[in-house]
Chains A and B, each alone.
Chain A
Amino acid sequence: MIVSLLVLLPWGIALWLSLAQRSAAALSVAGALAEVLLCIPLLAGDPSGLAAVHIPLLGALWQLQSSPLADLFALTVALLLPVALAVQWHHGEYLHQARILAVLQGALMGTFFANNFLGFYIFYEIVALAAAWLILRSGQKDRRAALTFLLYTITASLFLLLAVLPIYLARGNSTGIYDFSWMRLSGSGLSGQIQLLLFLGMLAGLGVKLPLFPLHGWARGAYVQSAPAAALLLSGATVLAGVYGLVHWAVPLLPQGALLFSPAGIILASIGTLYGAFLALSTSELRETVAYSSVSHMNLVALGIFALQEQAWSGALILSIAHAVLAGGLFTVIAILEARGLSSNWDALGGLFRRMPRFGAWTLLFFLMALGLPGLGNFPGEFLTLLGSFQVLPVWAGIATLGMIVNLVVFLRAYERSMLGQLNPRLPGHIADLSQRELWIFLLLGAASLYVGLGSQTLLADFQQLLPVHSHLLLGGMHGGH
């Protein structure tokens, strides 16, 4: 029941926002907060699920089921939305964006809870469409970026669909029950080679959201051309749909394929980690730095998943949640610069700490988090991911570590150029420091970062419930075993 509400509440609010204009701003915030509250009973261990809309040959399309990982991702997305709304507050396009953000949030909740593949796919496509709409209607209103994003994601997700259909037909042929639900699809017993081929198809569809290394062509346009609040949710929340798809659908449905692909996946993801870091190093635009470092971090998440090793998996999942917090922090920094009419290029910045000390201090916190300082959010995830994957393919895990080191250089240099040093004479005379609202955003995100960084034990405990299920499905095939 709660799970349906988590999906339908944002959609209802989006509908209301498009029909009635008055008092809509307050309603969008109230809805976002209600969504956070709704997540609490789920986390308290109250399992919720239901199956409705039975369609012959397809199964129950509205089949939602809560699980520890889904609950945690749902809470992350629910918490990110108020942050995005607060960032966008007082902006001329606020209402328009709040509407699309609500649609996006509802669809994301659907992808986390859906237990019928077709249901998952439908939500996944709505996520893609809403995200493209967001890029189209916010920030630079860049049609090219929106279309690129859309073509990447739609083409790839059609391959995801194509890859699942043989599993569906094979299961249906052997059991006589044609159904897209997770239970009916898993354990297909297809041969290893076919599984590998199908896994590649599923990976194309899911990896493009991360974005995994060769599929990252859309990332720059989407993260740089859209409004900061939109980019925040795109890089923080929609990537979680890809991670969740890999963990909940691709690997369990095709364990043999995942195992066969594992070495190639590790290599791709390590290259992606390093490549993303170098791209971040090569730009003087703060916003591009943030975009590319997000690509780099998400490739590290993929590395952890492909390692198929318990520590690496835990690390990857923690890192993906930390990445959401980090994206929140970094894009808020960009938004604050933009709101004051400042460019995000170093050439126009420099010595900003003197003018905005509070802003400078908070920016430092998130930059330190991005470069993986122990105690802050990113560290446990990065550490566990690398630790786990070193046991599988040490050389390539080493290359990914190199990527993390480059990341360190990137953020230290970016901070030095933009915040420290001589005051740039081209900066305007008076720049307002953080407002009350911006301070609250930073406080919330900072607390979340510290929680993930220091209290990751509790998150790990959650994943412990999840992993045995998956590793049994992998037929004891996980690297390192139990």
Chain B
Amino acid sequence: MVVISATLWAPIAVAVAALVAFFFDVSPRLGRFAPYWGVLGSLSATALVLHSRLDLGEGFYWDSSASILGAYLGLASAAVLLLLARHPLLRRMPGAFTGLCLSVLLGSLLLVGSDELIGIFIGLELQVLPFFALFAWPGSARRSLEAAMKYALLAALASALFALGIALIYLGNGDLALNPPLGPIDGTFAARLGFILLLAALGFELAVAPFHAWVADIYAGAPTPALLYLGAVGKVAIMGVLINLAGVSGTWLLPYLALAVLSIVIGNVLAWRTRSFRRMLGYSAVSHAGYFFAALAAGPLGLIIATFYAVVYGLMHLGVFGPLLSLPEGMDEIPWRHLRQQAPLAAGLLAVSLLSLAGMPPTLGFFVKLGVLVADIHAQVWGLAVVLILGSALSFAYYLPSLWRTPHEQRSLALWHSPVLRLYAAAGMLLLGFGWLLFPFFFGG
């Protein structure tokens, strides 16, 4: 008899939900309910993660950062699917869309919770493959095909690097566990080389400079619903793996430091130079990956901060791309006047999220950045703290103009909006603006 470890319940529930979701497409009337089935599956994942919180299973466990991220991933996936339930893109094959999204969620849960490199590799593939299809979803623009192609090529390269990294680590350690029984994971030369390859592969997925070349094209070309899911679930899970890796790699912080500085500088400068709103968001995601690495470079305190950074980054991404769902596909500027008139709450959420991305107090984005700064100064990496300061100061120079730039005037523009979007926008504004009031519940006990 097969004994299933309690820690595996959440991924199994999501896997079953994903398989079932594909069958909703047998009839269009049934298909309408597919996104709600996805919401249910995601919420059950959150519940199961919280239930097995701090359980250490065989090769798969929910430590404190993994359970925070796992619970977040389920909730984010539920929020996205609920928001997308009536979206025009889901008119065709909603069951398949939901199934693919749940597969991404499954991969993400494996990524944040796995204690074995093989588990991480499977999670990575489960996450990457559905995005090929989601980016090229039928009904989206031609540019998105190009985006999907680019993503496929680069993700395949990343997977290859990851596999090579695993091989090298096995060569060095003779073990595939994140915590090998004989010393740290980066104890031998071959293992260190492999570890760098792992970082490079994950860096591709997270768009860390110098592996950021794909991100602006994808952000500009891919359909908004897929991007919403990519940032809110996919990237946060990658951040979760990086937190686990940084936790086991001992005191070797140099790679994190280098990637952080490169990403902050390159991401901010490119975002500042570009004229296009979506490309700006893509490059600014690079700089946020840099701030995240700046937290990882600060040792043990940094790991706690990095966990919160990952969650808040996901929330901010939800806050920016949720309102963008209203706009027609391929629109590269924000028609503020129309958005304010037709969906005032969504316009408010977009503005608050942009301020939060810039780190304007008192939004959540400010508090996590403050946390990163405290961690860096505590670890006495002064140079990194100064780079972070300068980078986020520069980021004001492109986030705020996007708030007041008036686009080419269009006489009339019908924007997509729904009651769920209104609810989502109100909740998002409260969370990003006043979410710091919840801190006592995380630190107090």
Q: Taking beta carbons and an 8 Å cutoff, which residues of A are in contact with B?
A: 53-58, 61, 118, 121-122, 125-126, 129, 132, 136, 143, 147, 150-151, 154-155, 158-159, 161-162, 165-166, 168-169
Contacts and interface: CB of A to CB of B under 8 A. Distances in A.
Given A55-B440, A150-B400, A169 B374 contact: yes
- Name which of B362, B373, B401, B436 has the most chain A CB atoms within 10 A of its CB: B362
Given A158-B393, A161-B389, A169-B374, 16 more contacts: A55-B437, A55-B439, A56-B443, A56-B444, A132-B400, A143-B401, A147-B400, A151-B397, A154-B393, A158-B389, A158-B392, A159-B389, A161-B373, A162-B377, A162-B385, A168-B374
B444 A122 contact: no
Nearest to A158: B389
Contacts of B373: 161-162, 165
Contact of A151 (B385, B393, B404): B393
B242 to A, nearest CB: 24
B396 A121 contact: no
Contacts of A125: 360-361
Contacts of A136: 404
11 contacts: A56-B443, A61-B362, A122-B366, A125-B360, A125-B361, A126-B361, A151-B397, A154-B393, A162-B373, A162-B385, A162-B386
Nearest to A121: B361
A162 B376 CA distance: 10
Contact of B440 (A56, A118, A121): A56
Contact of B360 (A129, A162, A169): A129
B397 A56 contact: no
Contacts, number: 60
Contacts of B401: 143, 147
B223 to A, nearest CB: 32
A55 B437 CA distance: 7
Contact of B377 (A54, A55, A150, A165): A165
The 4 closest A-B pairs by CB, nearest first: A155-B393, A122-B361, A56-B443, A158-B389
Contacts of B390: 155
Nearest to B400: A150
A54 B397 contact: no
A316 B51 CA distance: 62
A53 B373 CA distance: 22
B436 A154 contact: no
A122 B440 contact: no
A169 B382 CA distance: 14
Nearest to B389: A158
B396 A154 contact: yes
A244 B258 CA distance: 39
A205 to B, nearest CB: 11
A287 to B, nearest CB: 24
Contacts of A126: 361
B370 interface: yes
B378 interface: yes
Contacts of B377: 162, 165-166, 169
A292 B208 CA distance: 45
A453 to B, nearest CB: 39
Given A56-B439, A129-B360, A143 B396 contact: no
A150 B396 contact: yes
B389 A162 contact: yes
Given A57-B443, A143-B401, A159-B389, A165 B360 contact: no
Nearest to B358: A154
Given A155-B393, A161-B370, A162-B386, A53 B437 contact: yes
A341 to B, nearest CB: 28
A109 B360 CA distance: 19
B333 to A, nearest CB: 16
Nearest to A141: B404
Nearest to A155: B393
Contacts of A155: 389-390, 393
B404 A55 contact: no
Interface in B380-399: 385-386, 389-390, 392-393, 396-397
